[in-house]
Amino acid sequence: MALIAESRFRYPDEEHPDWTTRSNVPNHSSGIPHDPETAYPDLVVLNSKMEVVKIIEIESKRNLSVDDVNRWKTYTSLCPAFYLYVPLETRSKVIQVLNFHRIPYKMLGLYAYNSQGHLLVDND
């Protein structure tokens, strides 16, 4: 996850000098209030007013659960810019789930590891 955060969501940057990226992995440090409890997406991008401008979730598991779907629904209700990264081999299944449950997303990112163990990331 750190590699995706560093390569894709490195804020502040030239275009957004007032944005910052915060990680909730491994420790919950940037929660978003949501009834009945606080939500902790993997990455949260905030502007200078501490408003959430992007939520990024990076899934590592191969099998999706109802908890995953519910979490994604919650994140899209908290911020319209929901970015989801999943293992490349789960692409078809994830798209089916997103469409079936009408979960809006800004971008679906795919990742895999090459034979040397290097992370490869692509946007769908």
> pLDDT tens across 80-110, in order?
899 999 999 999 999 999 999 999 999 999 9
Q: Cα(88)–Cα(41) distance, rounded to whole angstroms?
A: 20
> pLDDT tens across 1-19, in order?
667 877 788 899 999 999 9
- List the one residue out of 75, 63, 56, 48 whose CA is nearest residue 9: 56
Give the mean pLDDT of 34-55. 94
Give the mean pLDDT of 37-47. 95
Residue 54, beta-bridge partner list? 45
The whole-model pTM stands at: 0.89
Q: Which H/E stretch holds residue 99?
A: helix 91-100
Give the mean pLDDT of 56-74. 89
Across 34-38, 45-49, 60-64, 113-117, least confident range: 60-64
* Maximum distance among all Cα pairs of the chain, rounded to whole angstroms: 44
Tokens in use for 20?
A: 């910052």
Domains in the chain: ranges and CATH: 2-123 (3.40.1350)
